[in-house]
């Protein structure tokens, strides 16, 4: 594959579904939870999904490198800085939600071109929601049904603003942000959501804004970022009016950002 125009989005959807099925096989058992060096949880489901995604991408697009959260040998910046085209993968985003068994965890697969997420799929295995975005637009399917185009209103209602935020990572900065929104708009509704579903909730138009005032990694956001972009919304670096969240940095840790 030489450019994103050659991507088969249906292949990514099928791959995410296969990985999601493997995740559910573990989810329905009394699984064990380990912890990485950064104290984040790790389960057999993360690893099974990772192996499936890498295998399928390697078979279909052997010339396109893959950067995955669960790869212990990801390419260093000195190598990947020259990548014009690569896949950015989180095999199981929201492992904390997985452990809590609340269903709000996802499989994230993004295609990156020239440092931008140009296509992506976000699959919620337990809920069977599939979000996907590419040059043809952004869509959602539920239960394998017909695809619904995501085209949220361009401007939020001035009577009430719906803010989506983390279910597991509340911060004082987030609370202060919501208080500020209340002063500006009066009525603010807050939706707690796990994993990359928060970005998709804005792309879907069920929330007006998602401020992320805490740490995330590039693989946490890339696939949903593509869904947001192709729905007509933006993922902006915090404090910047027209700068999209950057990728393929020396440090893969994201800065604060806002989806609107």
* 220 and 92 both lie in a single domain: no
Tell me the CATH number at 102.
3.30.540.10
Reply yes or no on whether the pLDDT at 40 is more than 90: no
Q: pLDDT value at position 64?
A: 98
* 204 and 134 both lie in a single domain: no
Beta partners for residue 165, in sequence order = 192
Q: At what angle do helices 9-27 and 44-60 cross, to 10 degrees?
A: 160
> CA–CA separation, 101 vs 241, rounded Å?
37
Instruction: Please indicate, yes or no, if residue 154 is contained in any of the structural domains.
Output: no
Q: pLDDT value at position 172?
A: 84
Q: pLDDT value at position 155?
A: 58
Q: How far is CA 5 from the centre of its chain?
A: 21
Name the pTM for this structure: 0.94
- When pLDDT is cut at 50, 70 and 90, the band that residue 178 belongs to is confident
Find, among 198, 191, 196, 163, the residue nearest to 179 by Cα. 163
Find, among 64, 80, 109, the residue nearest to 222 by Cα. 109
Reply yes or no on whether the pLDDT at 229 is more than 80: yes
* 18 and 46 both lie in a single domain: yes
Mean pLDDT value across residues 101-105? 94
> CA–CA separation, 74 vs 19, rounded Å?
20
* 172 and 105 both lie in a single domain: no
* 35 and 101 both lie in a single domain: yes
């Amino acid at each position: 594959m030489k450019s994103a125009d050659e991507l088969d989005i249906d292949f990514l959807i099928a791959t995410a579904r296969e990985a999601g099925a493997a995740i559910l096989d573990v989810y329905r058992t009394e699984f064990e939870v380990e912890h990485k060096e950064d104290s984040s949880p790790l389960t057999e489901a993360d690893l099974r999904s990772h192996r499936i995604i890498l295998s399928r991408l390697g078979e279909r697009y052997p010339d396109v490198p893959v950067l995955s959260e669960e790869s212990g040998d990801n390419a260093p910046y000195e190598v990947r800085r020259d990548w014009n085209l690569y896949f950015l993968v989180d095999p199981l985003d929201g492992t904390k939600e997985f452990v809590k068994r609340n269903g709000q965890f996802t499989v994230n697969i993004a295609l990156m071109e020239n440092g931008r997420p140009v296509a992506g799929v976000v699959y919620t295995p337990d809920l069977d929601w599939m979000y996907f975005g590419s040059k043809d637009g952004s869509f959602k399917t539920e239960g394998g049904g017909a695809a619904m185009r995501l085209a949220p209103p361009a401007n939020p209602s001035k009577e009430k603003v719906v803010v989506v935020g983390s279910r597991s990572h509340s911060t004082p900065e987030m609370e202060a942000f919501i208080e500020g929104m209340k002063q500006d708009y009066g009525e603010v509704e807050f939706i707690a959501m796990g994993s990359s579903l928060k970005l998709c909730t804005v792309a879907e138009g069920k929330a007006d804004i998602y401020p992320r005032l805490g740490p995330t990694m590039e693989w946490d956001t890339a696939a949903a970022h593509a869904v947001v972009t192709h729905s007509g919304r933006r993922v902006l670096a915090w404090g910047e009016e027209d700068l999209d969240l950057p990728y393929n940095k020396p440090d893969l840790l994201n800065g604060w950002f806002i989806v609107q």
